[in-house]
């Protein structure tokens, strides 16, 4: 009996000791584990919306602690959050909200950081005396929280909105408007179908007209190009002829000067071979002829006549330059009889100038005459921009038999 009693008492003592050990382990576990340290922070809320003691505290969605104390005040509610791990370093700029998920879901306090920590901040400890509250959240810091997502108030607002008669009226009006819009869309679709079929019927004719127009434009462009090329060739050829004519005129002037010199030499020779009776008359005739030839040379070489010739050349150049600019009106221009007559008169004037050059060459060949020449009226010079006439029929050479008596 004594032995059984001792066994019973020992069993009771062992169970009591085991219960104390389990109870102590639970206390240690609830306080953060064996040998673990934790720290607390204080958060101010205007409304905690059903937060109770022991509610989980999450950081980036992971549970890191719990609510250990709720202290209401006149201006809000202060929650004491216990962070179980002292190694968790949270930046000072965080968003702390109370959220309830689901109709019967438990409320939680969520901590979401707004910035990332630097390497210097990661080296700090929230429970260290050297902790900087401006950079990270330190133990016993006070932070302002916000009311987060609440499902029940949102459902209440949705129910109130759904039960509003004005909302239903607006919804019905919107449905009617959509119905009318659908009908108009159907009508518009039918009209577009008709328009599409009409356009498909008109496209072949339009394409044919466009092709014809393109061909006509191409042919017109080719004709204009050919016409422009021919006009350029005509202008170039006429410029060369005019330049050649004025070059010949310069050569004629030089030949006249040489002719005057030769005539003076001939006069000296004739003067030495004639008798005293005819010397005075012959010399007078030669002086008159020399004066006439000199007057002719000076008239041709005068600055006024040169300016007239230069103006004639400039006018001709301007005329041909303008001819290049009127390619588009070439058909009307070439069909103008006045223009053709003016151009014919200009060519005839240039031909007369060449004929006058030939007359001057004939005058130069008369240097071979062995006897004197009676005086003749001075040649009449008529200069204009379109026509030049050098010799008139009144100025003729007299037979050499009249000189020798």
Q: Could you tell me the sign of the dihedral formed by the alpha carbons of 316, 250, 243, 338, in that order?
A: positive
170-199 burial, b for 16+ CB within 10 Å, e for fewer? Answer: eeeeeeeeeeeeeeeeeeeeeeeeeeeeee
Q: How many helices (H) and strands (E) does the chain have?
A: 8, 8
pLDDT of residue 64: 92
CA dist., res. 363 & res. 370, Å (int): 14
CA dist., res. 36 & res. 81, Å (int): 16
Contact 94, 114 (CB under 8 A): yes
Neighbours of 283 (CB within 10 A): 15
Q: Which of 321, 402, 327, 335 is nearest to 369 (CA)?
A: 402
Q: Could you tell me the sign of the dihedral formed by the alpha carbons of 248, 251, 253, 259, in that order?
A: negative
pLDDT digits (tens, 9 = 90+) for 265-295: 776 765 666 555 466 677 777 788 787 777 7
Contact 387, 348 (CB under 8 A): yes
Regions in the chain scoring below 50 on pLDDT: 34-35, 277, 367-405
pLDDT of residue 71: 92
Contact 120, 100 (CB under 8 A): no
Neighbours of 297 (CB within 10 A): 17
pLDDT of residue 148: 77
CA dist., res. 234 & res. 227, Å (int): 10
- The encoded tokens of residue 146 equal 């916000």
- Sheet bearing 62-72, strands edge to edge: 142-144, 39-45, 77-83, 62-72, 56-59, 107-113, 94-100, 146-150
pLDDT of residue 41: 92
């Amino acid at each position: 009996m004594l032995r059984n009693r001792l066994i019973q008492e020992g069993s009771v003592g062992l169970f009591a000791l085991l219960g104390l050990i389990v109870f102590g382990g639970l206390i240690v576990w609830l306080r953060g584990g064996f040998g673990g340290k934790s720290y607390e922070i204080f958060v101010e809320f205007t409304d905690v919306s059903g937060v109770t003691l022991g509610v989980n505290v999450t950081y980036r969605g992971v549970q890191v602690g719990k609510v250990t104390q709720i202290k209401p005040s006149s201006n809000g509610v202060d929650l004491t959050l216990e962070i179980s791990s002292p190694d968790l370093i949270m930046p000072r700029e965080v968003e702390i909200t109370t959220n309830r998920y689901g109709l019967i879901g438990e409320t939680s306090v969520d901590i979401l950081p707004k910035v990332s920590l630097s390497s210097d901040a990661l080296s700090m400890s929230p429970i260290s005396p050297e902790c900087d509250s401006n950079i990270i959240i330190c133990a016993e810091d006070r932070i302002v929280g916000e009311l987060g997502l609440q499902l029940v108030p949102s459902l209440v607002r949705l129910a109130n909105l759904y039960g509003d008669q004005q909302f239903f009226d607006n919804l019905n009006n919107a449905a009617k408007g959509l119905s009318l819009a659908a009908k108009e869309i159907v009508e518009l679709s039918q009209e577009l179908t008709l328009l599409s079929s009409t356009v498909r019927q008109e496209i072949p004719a339009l394409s044919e007209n466009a092709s014809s127009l393109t061909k006509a434009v191409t042919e017109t462009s080719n004709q204009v190009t050919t016409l422009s090329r021919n006009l350029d060739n005509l202008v170039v050829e006429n410029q060369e002829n005019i330049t050649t004519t004025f070059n010949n005129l310069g050569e004629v002037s030089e030949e006249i000067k040489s002719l005057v010199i030769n005539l003076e030499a001939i006069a000296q020779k004739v003067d030495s071979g004639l008798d005293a009776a005819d010397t005075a008359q012959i010399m007078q005739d030669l002086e008159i002829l020399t004066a006439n030839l000199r007057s002719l040379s000076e008239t041709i070489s005068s600055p006024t006549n040169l300016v007239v010739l230069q103006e004639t050349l400039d006018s001709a150049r301007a005329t041909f330059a303008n001819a290049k600019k009127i390619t588009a009106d070439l058909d009307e221009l070439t069909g103008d009889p006045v223009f053709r007559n003016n151009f014919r008169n200009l060519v005839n004037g240039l031909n007369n100038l060449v004929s006058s050059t030939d007359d001057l060459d004939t005058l130069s060949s008369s240097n071979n005459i062995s006897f004197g020449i009676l005086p003749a009226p001075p040649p009449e010079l008529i200069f204009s921009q379109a026509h030049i006439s050098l010799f008139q029929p009144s100025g003729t050479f007299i037979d050499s038999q009249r000189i020798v008596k």
